[in-house]
Structures are given as structure tokens and as C-alpha cells.
Amino acid sequence: MSLQRGIMGGLPRAGAAYRRASGDADGYGGLLTIDLGAIARNWRRLSARVAPARASAVVKADAYGLGAHEVAPTLYRAGCRAFFVAHVEEGIKLRAVLPRDAEIIILHGAPARSEPDCDAYQLTPVLNCMEQLTAWIRFTSANGLKRRCVVQFDTGMTRFGFDLSEASSVAAALGMAGSRPSLVMSHLACADDPSAASNAVQRERLLDLRKLFPDTELSLAASSGIFLGPDYHLDLVRPGAALYGVNPAGTDPNPMESTIRLWGRIMQVREVPAGTEVGYGLAGRTKAATRLATVAVGYADGFFRSASGRASAWLGSKRLPLVGRVSMDSIVVDLAALPGPPLVPGDLLDLLGDAYGVDDLAADAGTIGYEILTGLSSRYWREYVE
């Protein structure tokens, strides 16, 4: 039974039949639903936006915490054929669930002695430095292979990639080896700021490399870069966070569909008078007599401690502010805004959903949506729905 079908009146009750292969959801402090259909629709929306450029999918960090083994096959069925991960080990695990015609590209490249794994599992390394380039050419030449590779250049972020001054040497080395990269890429440092002059500078620097790599595809834009406009789409875009519902358009309304919903389970409810001090350091204080619910989700579950005093839980359209500090395994929520029958232990409150999303929690925690997603705990009971 899907979690949606198990919800009664918008609020799951203790004892409801939430099941997964490993056991009963009633034993979990938090319930996380991941909408694979929404992820697929987000990819299709971006793919249509950038056409005739192609859209790949970044599924590193276990698909930003949402489960690469479930997300990547969904995106493949939606039409995606190129997938980016960070590490060779991520690529090996991903190959087990993707057909051979799906290209898996390793952003960090092939560390020393991992080249045979790239060949065995048909992984495409991104070559970022001379050490990686030399090792890759040595391996492929010694084994008579014509394996694909991607080359990255640092056009201004000072993170990964060859220096532009090395471009001629890179092109010459690949030419002598009889190899041509399938893609030349770079990464924007300020894509989330359309006014940043560095965006156009980085684009022009990448386009200049066409002189050395004619007929090779170029890629520059990730999620936010897509929304800088067609000049940044080039041949291939690499959306990641946008696929999972993080707003790629800065302060503009989010063009992407929400993909997750998180509930926290109430473990205890108590009546308290005005002026009651709450939590570690007694940092919270009630302004009036109220009911407080202790909810079994905390910073060990990815609900950041820095959101203390700012974040909230929700029930429908009712905002329920947190009181006191976020603990490792729990938060305390003020239920004063709720009319009607009182909540009881076992009931669930919305922690992430339509009223309060990933970017909202990120703002309250002083971070970004990427960190919220990748911090989602394995302690949650997970339900994948389409």
C-alpha cells in the first residue's frame, strides 16, 4: 500500500498499515515519500526547455539523497541517456540498474588503478588534470582500447579541470593517442546570479576551446545555468538539484515540481503553562499556555540544528512553530494553532511538503536545498510513488 493511500484525512494515524519489505513504518520516527513521477516530469520539462540541446541527469550522492537505484531507472524510462556521478564506485553501483546504452560519466575522473573498472563497467571518466590524462592514455593504449572520455577545463571557478593554458597540450596528447573526447565541459561558478559578469566570461572561454576540439560537444550549464538562457545550453546540460525540486531560478518562483514529502511522528504531547522553558539550554520559552508535541526527527535525520527557533512543522495550512533547539533525535512543536480534536502520540506532522519545502527549510537553516536533500537520513521509512 502506498503511503498516500494510507493517509486518513490528510494525517496518518498510529497503527495504520504502512508497509515496506523490511517492516512496518510504525517503527520509524519519520516517513519520507519520494515522487518518482515528479522527478521524471521535471526532467522532461528541462529537456523540452533546452532542446535541441540534450539533457543529462546528475545522480551523484545517491541521487542527492533520494536513491539513485530508484531515480536513475525512472529517468532512463523518461528518455535520459547520460548520467553523471562523482566517484567510480558510484558508477559501478549505478551500472547494475541501467542498460548498457546509458552513459555513466564520472565527474572526479578515474583515480590511479581504477581505469580497469571504468573499462569493465563502461564508465566514462572526466579527465581533470595531466595525471589523469596520462594514466588514461597509458591504460587505453596498452590494452588497445578506444574508450570514451570527457575533458574538463577550469574556465574560472578554480576547482576541477585543466588550466586553459594546458589546452593545446591536452589536445595534442589525445591526438597522438588517436583519441577524441566525446565532450568538453566546464562548470559555472555563479550560475545562480544572472547578473554575474563571470557567467559570460566562462562561456566565451569554453567556446574558444572549439578551435582545439572541433566537432566535440560542449557542456557548461547545470541546473541554474539552464535558466541563464539558450546561449548557455550549448550541446548538453547537466541538471541535478532541479530534478529533485530545488529552485534553480534564485528568487524567482520555483519552476520545478516538488518531489518529496516528509512527516515526523509525534511521540509525546503535554499541556504546559505560559513561560515554560523548553529544550537544551532552556533556549525556548512558551508565550502562552499551550500544547507541545515532541516529534521523533532531529539533526541526525537531516533536520538541521541551525533551524532551531526558525523552522516549523505543519498540519494542512496550519503553521506549527518549533520551540527550543533541534536535538539529535527530536524537535518540540507548538500545537496552539490547531483547533479540533487533540493530536496523540503516533500522529504525523508535515515537516517538508507543499506548505514548507526544501528551500524553505534551507533558508531557515542558513544553508541551501542541496544540503537539505543530501542530508536526508537513512532512518526514515521511505516510500517511492509514481
Using DSSP bridges, classify how beta strands 217-222 and 318-321 pair: parallel, antiparallel or unpaired. unpaired
Q: Is 280 a catalytic residue?
A: yes
| Cα gap 295→297, rounded to integer Å | 6
Owner of C-alpha cell 574508450? 147
Task: Name 105's Cβ contacts closer than 8 Å, sequence gap at least 6.
Answer: 56, 82, 83, 84, 85, 123, 124, 125, 126, 150, 183
Our CA angle for 27, 33, 36, nearest 5°, is: 145
The radius of gyration computed from the CA coordinates of the chain, to the nearest angstrom, equals 24
Picking from 34, 2, 1, the residue whose alpha carbon sits closest to that of residue 380 is: 34
Max Cα–Cα distance, the chain, nearest Å: 79
Of the residues 18, 60, 232, 384, only one is catalytic, namely 60
Q: Is 60 a catalytic residue?
A: yes
Residue 207's alpha-carbon distances to 85, 159, 169, 211, 233, in angstroms, are 24, 19, 18, 8, 12
Of the residues 28, 211, 232, 280, only one is catalytic, namely 280
Residues 354, 263 contacting (CB under 8 angstroms): no
DSSP 322: B
Which residues are known catalytic residues? 60, 280
